[in-house]
Amino acid sequence: MLHIFSDAPSVADYVSSALVEKIRSRPEVVLGLATGGTMEPIYARFVDQARRQRLDVSRLTSFNLDEYVGLSADHPKSYSAYMRHHLFGHLGFDSSRLHLPDGLARDLERHSREYSEKLRRCGGIDLQLLGVGGNGHIGFNEPGTAFDSRCHVVRLSERTRVDNSRFFDGNAIVPASAITMGMCEIMEAREILLVATGESKARIVAEWYRHEVTEAIPFTVLKRHARAKIILDEAAASLLPDSVRGSPAVASA
- The residues of the shown chain that bind ligand GLP, judged by CB under 6 A, are 34-38, 65-66, 131-133, 139-140, 160, 164
- In a 13 Å sphere around the CA of 248, the CA atoms on its Cβ side amount to 0
Nearer to ligand GLP, 3 or 133 (CB): 133
Question: Could you give the CA distance from residue 136 to residue 37 in angstroms, rounded to a whole number?
Answer: 15
Nearer to ligand GLP, 139 or 182 (CB): 139
Question: Could you give the CA distance from residue 86 to residue 124 in angstroms, rounded to a whole number?
Answer: 24
The yes-or-no answer on residue 164 being catalytic is: no
Count the neighbouring beta carbons within 10 Å of the beta carbon of residue 48: 13
The yes-or-no answer on residue 142 being catalytic is: yes
The yes-or-no answer on residue 135 being catalytic is: yes
Tell me which of 64, 111, 126, 135 is the catalytic residue: 135
Nearer to ligand GLP, 57 or 132 (CB): 132
Tell me which of 126, 142, 185, 233 is the catalytic residue: 142
Residue 179 CB, shortest distance to ligand GLP, in Å, is 11
Nearer to ligand GLP, 72 or 165 (CB): 165
Residue 241 CB, shortest distance to ligand GLP, in Å, is 23
Determine if residue 161 is left, alpha or beta; phi over 0 gives left, psi from -120 to 50 gives alpha, anything else beta: alpha
Residue facing ligand GLP at closest CB distance: 131
Residue 52 CB, shortest distance to ligand GLP, in Å, is 25
Give the closest residue to 70 by CA, choosing from 158, 168, 139, 141.
Answer: 168
Nearer to ligand GLP, 66 or 102 (CB): 66
SS3 160: helix
Residue 50 CB, shortest distance to ligand GLP, in Å, is 21
Question: Could you give the CA distance from residue 234 to residue 250 in angstroms, rounded to a whole number?
Answer: 11
Residue 137 CB, shortest distance to ligand GLP, in Å, is 6
Tell me which of 64, 66, 152, 185 is the catalytic residue: 66
> Contact 67/100 with Cβ under 8 angstroms?
yes
Contacts of 23 by beta carbon, 8 Å cutoff, 6+ apart = 29, 50, 55, 56, 57, 60
Nearer to ligand GLP, 54 or 166 (CB): 166
SS3 8: helix
Q: Where are the alpha helices (DSSP H) in the chain?
A: 8-25, 39-52, 79-83, 108-121, 158-164, 183-187, 202-210, 242-245, 248-251
Residue 128 CB, shortest distance to ligand GLP, in Å, is 11
Question: Could you give the CA distance from residue 68 to residue 167 in angstroms, rounded to a whole number?
Answer: 13
Tell me which of 3, 86, 111, 137 is the catalytic residue: 137
Residues belonging to the active site: 66, 135, 137, 142
